[in-house]
């Protein structure tokens, strides 16, 4: 039965890992539905390609969260499969296979049922939030989802790469506003530069820029050219 217990522990840890990932993504500005979907996709290696996925790959912190979920998911699933095989072929204690299967099913149902309790979800989310906030992950508003409108305008956070045309140039030189792109904020070395960026501000590689404008113009101005 020790193998059954080990498998249930792995399942519980996996669900908690997905919950942590979902909460972390939501604290970076994604809605809960989007954050939860992306977290499950990354952890279980489903690999869904959705429009919301662009908001993950264009955000450095979200990319790190997804990367850690993918790594944790691959390790967890492998361990779970190994434990399941060990459980099913276990013969040293001569336990009835029906008892093993019944215990396993009962444990899985119990864990999923436990996670459906509202008070359990609130307690887990509270502990996760407190832990992530102590690590320096601060919740922000869901600008991308709130301000994305039918005409194609959006607010996006994009990391400036060395090959990006605006890198190492002042805003007065690159003039993103000529294409309708407004720079709302610049985050450098993990800290947001106070105030609205002025024309004399230089965009450096590694800066995370919050910009508003038509989606294709924002990508054209702030992302490296394709090819």
What are the backbone dihedrals phi and psi of residue 94, each rounded to the nearest 5 degrees, phi first? 55, 45
What per-residue confidence (pLDDT) applies to 104? Answer: 66
What per-residue confidence (pLDDT) applies to 16? Answer: 82
Whether residues 168 and 204 fall in one domain: yes
Tokens of 141: 């508003």
List, for residues 197-225, the tens digit of each pLDDT value: 889 999 999 999 988 888 888 888 998 88
Tokens of 107: 């444990």
Whether residues 75 and 159 fall in one domain: no
Of 13-17, 69-73, 78-82, least confident by mean pLDDT is 78-82
Domains: count for the chain: 2
List, for residues 89-110, the tens digit of each pLDDT value: 555 456 666 666 777 678 777 7
Q: Of 105, 134, 163, which marks where a domain is finished?
A: 134
Whether residues 180 and 103 fall in one domain: no
Of 41-45, 71-75, 80-84, 122-126, least confident by mean pLDDT is 80-84
Is residue 14 within 8 A of residue 6, CB to CB? The reply is no
Q: Classify residue 99: in a domain, yes or no.
A: yes
Which domain, by its residues, includes 154?
Answer: 148-222
- What sign does the dihedral 148-23-157-55 (CA atoms) show? negative
Whether the per-residue pLDDT at 151 is higher than 60: the answer is no
Residue with tokens 């509270």: 126
Reference 12, options 86, 94, 113, 90; nearest CA is 113
């Amino acid at each position: 039965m020790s193998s059954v217990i080990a498998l249930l522990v792995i399942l519980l840890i996996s669900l908690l890992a997905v919950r942590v990932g979902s909460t972390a993504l939501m604290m970076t500005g994604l809605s809960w539905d989007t954050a939860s979907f992306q977290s499950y996709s990354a952890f279980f290696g489903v690999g869904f390609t959705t429009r919301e996925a662009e908001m993950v790959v264009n955000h450095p912190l979200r990319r790190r969260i997804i990367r850690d979920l993918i790594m944790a998911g691959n390790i967890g699933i492998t361990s779970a499969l190994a434990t399941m095989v060990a459980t099913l072929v276990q013969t040293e204690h001569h336990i009835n296979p029906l008892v093993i299967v019944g215990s396993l099913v009962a444990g899985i149902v119990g864990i999923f049922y436990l996670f459906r309790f509202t008070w359990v979800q609130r307690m887990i989310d509270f502990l996760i939030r407190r832990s992530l906030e102590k690590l320096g992950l601060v919740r922000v508003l869901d600008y991308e989802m709130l301000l994305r409108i039918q005409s194609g305008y959006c607010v996006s956070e994009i990391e400036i790469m060395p090959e990006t045309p605006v890198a190492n140039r002042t805003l007065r030189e690159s003039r993103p506003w000529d294409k309708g792109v407004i720079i709302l904020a610049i985050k450098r070395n993990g800290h947001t530069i106070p105030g609205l960026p002025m024309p004399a501000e230089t965009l450096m590689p590694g800066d995370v820029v919050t910009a508003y404008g038509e989606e294709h113009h924002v990508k054209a101005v702030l992302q490296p050219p394709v090819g």
